[in-house]
Structure 1
Amino acid sequence: MTPQEIFARMRERWLAGEPTYDGAMLAGDVVVETPFAAPGRPTRTEGRERVIEQARAGRAGFPVRFDECRGVVIHETTDPDVIVVEYELVGTHEVTGAQASAPFIGVLRTRDGLLAGWREYQHTMAIAAALST
């Protein structure tokens, strides 16, 4: 898969309420980084099984249904295996019904058609505000 196809698959999974990744899309040595993660959350996860485990736990413990991924802009780089994506996730809190959104930037790297790296920069204050409503 191309980086664009992998990002499209990630978006589909978000909107379907599934964990971001499945094993078929990940390189064995994949690295997922969230440098601005909320306190207590990991900022780096390495390896297919660990990434899948963390994605499942994160999805199960996150009380928001994603309704839309909008404002998607994909920036090509000089490396055909790397893209930079800007997007905004819109979701509904499953308990309160409140709707909120947060912007993100991600750097996606593939190798041999698999996701080798994902670095996501989150607007943690917007996410915290959405979870507290």
Structure 2
Amino acid sequence: MSAREVFDRLRRELTGDPVADGLGAEGLWAEDVVVETPFAPPGAPRRFEGRQAFLEYARAGRAALPFRLEMDGLVVHDTADPDVIIVEYELGATLPGTGQRVSAPFVGVLRARGGQIAHWREYQDPLALAAATGRLPDLVAALSLA
């Protein structure tokens, strides 16, 4: 699979539209994957080494979000390395109960190897994420302690 195909699988998993080949989200990540989030808010990990470490953290985070994610404005940039792409997108959702639409922008750098994600570096807007998930007061408090 190309890096674009691997990202399309990731996009489908994130938005609740899994590919029906039995691999699921776990099959997307290489056993030795490195996941980095350089702009993670204070107190959140910025680097994960290995599939298990990342998936444990990701599952807990996803379980805390009681809504279906949607991806808009996707732009995929090819690089000189055919195994690497840069993606820009906006993750959004409609909040249950209020019907309010929230979103946050992301940029990701994906390196594929053998049809899996070998390296994922995600740049996110922590203010937009905190506002979208109702955690802005927590982020402000964490920043004032830093």
2:58 to 55, 60, 65: 55
Aligned to 1:3: 3
> Which TM-score applies when normalising by structure 2?
0.80
Partner of 2:111: 109
Do structure 1's residue 45 and structure 2's residue 44 form an aligned pair? no
The 1:44–1:95 alpha-carbon spacing in structure 2 relative to 1, beyond 3 Å, is farther
Moved more, 75-84 or 48-57: 48-57
Bigger fraction of residues in strand: 1
TM-fit CA distance, 1:13: 1.2
Residue 109 of structure 1 contacts residue 115 of structure 1 at CA under 8 Å; is this kept in 2? yes
Give me the whole-angstrom Cα distance separating, in 1, the residues matched to 2:50 and 2:98.
35
* Counterpart in the other structure of 1:100: 102
Query: Which structure 1 residue ranges, 5 or more long, are not aligned?
Result: none
Matches within 5 A, 1:1-133: 1-16=1-16, 22-66=25-69, 68-94=70-96, 96-132=98-134
CA contact (8 A) 2:67 2:93 kept: yes
Gaps of 5+ in 2: 19-23, 136-146
Counterpart of 2:4, as a letter, is: Q
SS at match of 2:40: coil
Larger radius of gyration: 2
CA contact (8 A) 1:63 1:95 kept: no
User: How many pairs does the alignment contain?
Assistant: 130
**Counterpart AA for 1:5:** E
Distance between the aligned counterparts of 1:17 and 1:123, measured in 2? 25
TM-score normalised by the chain length of structure 1: 0.87
Distance change (3 Å), C-alpha of 1:2 and 1:15: same
3-state secondary structure, aligned to 2:48: strand
| Maintained 8 Å contact 1:17/1:65 | no
1:107 is paired with a residue of what secondary structure?
strand
Report the Cα offset of residue 17 of structure 1: 8.0
- Determine helix, strand or coil for the equivalent of 2:120: strand
Tell me if the contact between 2:89 and 2:106 (Cα under 8 Å) persists in the aligned partners.
Answer: yes
**Contact between 1:93 and 1:131, CA under 8 Å: does it hold in 2?**
no
Q: What is the percentage of aligned positions where both structures have the same residue?
A: 53
